[in-house]
Amino acid sequence: MKFTVSRASLWVSLSLVSGSALAVTDLPADMERIVVSGSRVVESIDEVPASVTVITKQDIQEHLKVTPELQSLLAMYVPGMGPDTGSSSNTGQTLRGRAPLVMIDGVPQSTPLRNGSLGVKTLDPSAIERIEVIKGATSIFGNGAAGGIINYITRTPRSDDGVEGDVSVSSRFSAVQPDESAGHRLEAAVNGRTQNWHYLLTASYEENGVQRDAEGDILGLQYGLSDAITQNYFAKLGYDFDADKQLQVSYNFYRSQQKTDLGDTFNGNKDLAVHVPPAEQKAGEPQGPDGNTNLMVKYTDLNIFSNTQLTLDYYDQSIENVFFFSPSLANPEGGYSGGQSVIKSEKEGLRATFNSQLSFDNIEATFIYGLDALNDVTSQPLVDGRVWVPEMDMNNVAGFVQSKWVYHEDLIIKAGVRRESISLEVDNYDTLRLCRQENQCSVPVAVTGGELDYDATTYNVAVKYQLNPAFHPFISYSQGADISDTGRLLRSATVTDIADIRTEASIIDNYEIGFTSQMSEAVRLEVAAYRSTSELGTSTRFDPTTGVYLPVRAPQEIWGYESIINYRVSPTLDLSATYSYVEGKDTQEDVYLGGRTVNPPKATLIANWRPTDTANLTLEYLYVGSRDRFNADENGAYSTDQAPVSSYNVVNVSGNYAFSSQWQGFLGVQNLLNEDYFPARAQAYTYGGYRVKGLGTTVNVGVTYQF
């Protein structure tokens, strides 16, 4: 199957834009405002062809005093990112209503072929230098970026000569009911340079106690964090051949699994965990990433030929994400009372990126071009040996050209094109017989496999005019080609030939308009509105006959707006406030999209106060609004992800004090006011096991030593 964008689309796109850069925290004046992932080379953040949020190292460190969960960090600092789910899964936490592609240094961590929504939790924040979030459909990094890109940029060696490092020890516990809640965390890093070599080593180890809500009850275990053990080891080694040429190798190991002796129960209002006899404890293997690894090799030549830089990236990745034991995966006839699935993904990729710069009269031109090659083999078997999603072997080759034209330093025009060629092979397979109840079972189907071919040409164009410091308007048009979550379509097949399954890819068109304004030295304002359409989005419908949640392919339209204001009240006090709104519809049926896709309105306020050179205090406020778009049935029940969401508020506070140049103590409190609430996903989802409350007041205290 093939799909292309007409030539007329290119001419339409030439009249449209992009180019906003939403930076939550002002960077120091002496720090260059740069991002890497926007157009795959280092450039000014003000010239990136999409709305961008940069979460700085300082932001990460301040939030890390409250919680090490990256979901919480992204929800607080990124407009358009859905609220924290309070669990290890980011299902339901979309970016502008679509799934983002999560990366580490440009290497994909998500598993688009079978999106298990576990990509956000793939690296410990202590190993991260900054986070770049590029919003809106993009084809710059290929499949899976329907909602944009979340790129974790890892730490780099700081020491000019010799060795430096830090060690941190901390403990988190519930202030509502401390019993069994105390956990401990150890993180360490060392880096250095010697002659032409530079290196970085980071390690973190954390054991959680039980997680308790505002009433002191232990949170339900589905995607839970109670008794979770998390390990992350990251290493980076580089060698400078000369001033222009560098080779860098990095390796990351990440494991985060829940090992608990608790059991789940439902008290009529919420899912919670309780102490039970061994026979009633959480069944199956520990859930979570089971030793995911990344090997990344980068070679850079700043002058491969005249005015041109070359970057070669090779990566090899292995992912094994274990899910919870579910009775919905039962088959009494086969002797199975339930089942536990594992998403396995092996990726190997090579990217060659050239960056050429030319100058004309009053014009500076940049051309970024190259080739991407990727092999992705993904499947979702069950731990007991049954095959739920057959092995999908994808080969993807793409060529691209991106250009940037800067005229008189005022007018910025960007335009690009990417040609994607994808082949996906699947062997013959049988769908599983799954029973929610003994008389509610799916019917197995023998499916003939084969090869699916996808070809796509996508375009992006952006214009930004720096009229004056108080008004920088922009407008953009960008496209993305998406074949994500094919595995869900395959496992729910009701036809006998893979060619008859609705696995068609979708072109996503993203339109955006807005402005940035440096209203004064102290105040910066940014506003953006967007609209996103897709030919074939994927939602979910429950089939009461078989008890299976079936995918629904239908055109979708998503729209919304965001705003952010940064205000430097004084040299010691900074304020940042954001607001984001997103809505979406299935345009074929003219019905709203559910909570799995569309998040409720969200507002945040962050205040950072530095009363002295040795002390710092940060206050974070999160407001999640209400959303009620669907009607209950005659029994008062809602379907799938369509239950109403009521608003709630969460306040966090953190602070640190430097006792000396080497020793620092810190304290963080999550949910300071002990708000008793269900996160947005827990309210919207009607699936079993998701009715889990948010974390109650939780305290984190620790000390850091630097050398």
pLDDT tens track for 594-604: 999 999 999 99
Q: How far is CA 190 from CA 64, 185, 195, 216, in A?
A: 19, 17, 17, 39
pLDDT tens track for 479-525: 988 887 899 899 989 899 999 888 888 889 999 999 989 899 999 99
CA distance 687 to 437: 15
pTM over 0.85: yes
Q: Are 114 and 703 in contact (CB under 8 A)?
A: no
pLDDT at 277 exceeding the cut of 80: yes
pLDDT tens track for 606-620: 999 999 999 999 999
pLDDT tens track for 647-675: 999 999 999 999 999 999 999 999 999 99
- The pLDDT value recorded for residue 140 is 77
Consecutive H or E run containing 75: helix 70-77
pLDDT band of 41, cuts 50, 70, 90:
low
CA distance 164 to 153: 20
pLDDT at 529 exceeding the cut of 50: yes
CA distance 246 to 300: 5
CA distance 404 to 243: 26
Nearest to 25 by CA among 2, 1, 58: 58
Nearest to 318 by CA among 296, 300, 345: 345
pLDDT band of 370, cuts 50, 70, 90:
very high
Q: Are 465 and 411 in contact (CB under 8 A)?
A: yes
Residue with the bigger pLDDT between 137 and 290: it is 290
Residue with the bigger pLDDT between 549 and 569: it is 569
**CA-CA-CA-CA dihedral for 35, 572, 577, 213, to nearest 10:** 100
What does pLDDT average to over the chain?
Answer: 90
Nearest to 46 by CA among 452, 650, 358, 472: 472
pLDDT band of 341, cuts 50, 70, 90:
very high
CA distance 706 to 665: 12
Percent helix, strand, coil in the chain, to 5, is 10, 55, 35
- The pLDDT value recorded for residue 146 is 83
Q: How far is CA 104 from CA 170, 226, 250, 412, 480, in A?
A: 26, 26, 11, 29, 20
pLDDT tens track for 215-228: 999 999 999 999 99
- The pLDDT value recorded for residue 28 is 40
Residue 603: half-sphere exposure toward Cβ, Cα within 13 Å: 9
pLDDT tens track for 559-588: 999 999 999 999 999 999 999 999 999 999
- The pLDDT value recorded for residue 119 is 87
- The pLDDT value recorded for residue 143 is 81
Which range, of 19-28, 380-389, 435-444, 467-476, averages the lowest pLDDT? 19-28
Q: How far is CA 324 from CA 56, 224, 342, 705, in A?
A: 34, 9, 9, 38
| Structure tokens belonging to residue 473 | 């308007």
pLDDT at 35 exceeding the cut of 80: no
Mean pLDDT, residues 165-182: 97
Q: Are 146 and 110 in contact (CB under 8 A)?
A: no
- The pLDDT value recorded for residue 45 is 67
- The pLDDT value recorded for residue 566 is 95
Neighbour-count burial of 281, counting CB atoms closer than 10 A to its CB (0-12 exposed, 13-18 middle, 19+ buried): middle
Mean pLDDT, residues 268-289: 92
pLDDT tens track for 92-139: 999 999 989 999 998 888 898 998 888 899 999 999 999 999 898 887
CA distance 190 to 158: 10
- The pLDDT value recorded for residue 289 is 93
Nearest to 421 by CA among 381, 395, 455: 455
Domains in the chain, please, with CATH? 7-330+344-706 (2.40.170.20)
- Count other Cβ atoms within 10 Å, centred on residue 331: 19
- The pLDDT value recorded for residue 138 is 80
DSSP structural state of residue 681: H
Residues 6+ apart with CB under 8 A from 66: 72, 620, 652, 653, 654, 668, 669, 670, 700
pLDDT band of 282, cuts 50, 70, 90:
confident
| Structure tokens belonging to residue 384 | 């007991």
Neighbour-count burial of 570, counting CB atoms closer than 10 A to its CB (0-12 exposed, 13-18 middle, 19+ buried): exposed
Which range, of 132-146, 163-177, 410-424, 474-488, averages the lowest pLDDT? 132-146
pLDDT at 229 exceeding the cut of 90: yes
CA distance 315 to 346: 11
pLDDT tens track for 466-475: 888 889 899 9
pLDDT at 286 exceeding the cut of 70: yes
CA distance 406 to 418: 22
- The pLDDT value recorded for residue 451 is 95
pLDDT at 330 exceeding the cut of 60: yes
- The pLDDT value recorded for residue 537 is 75
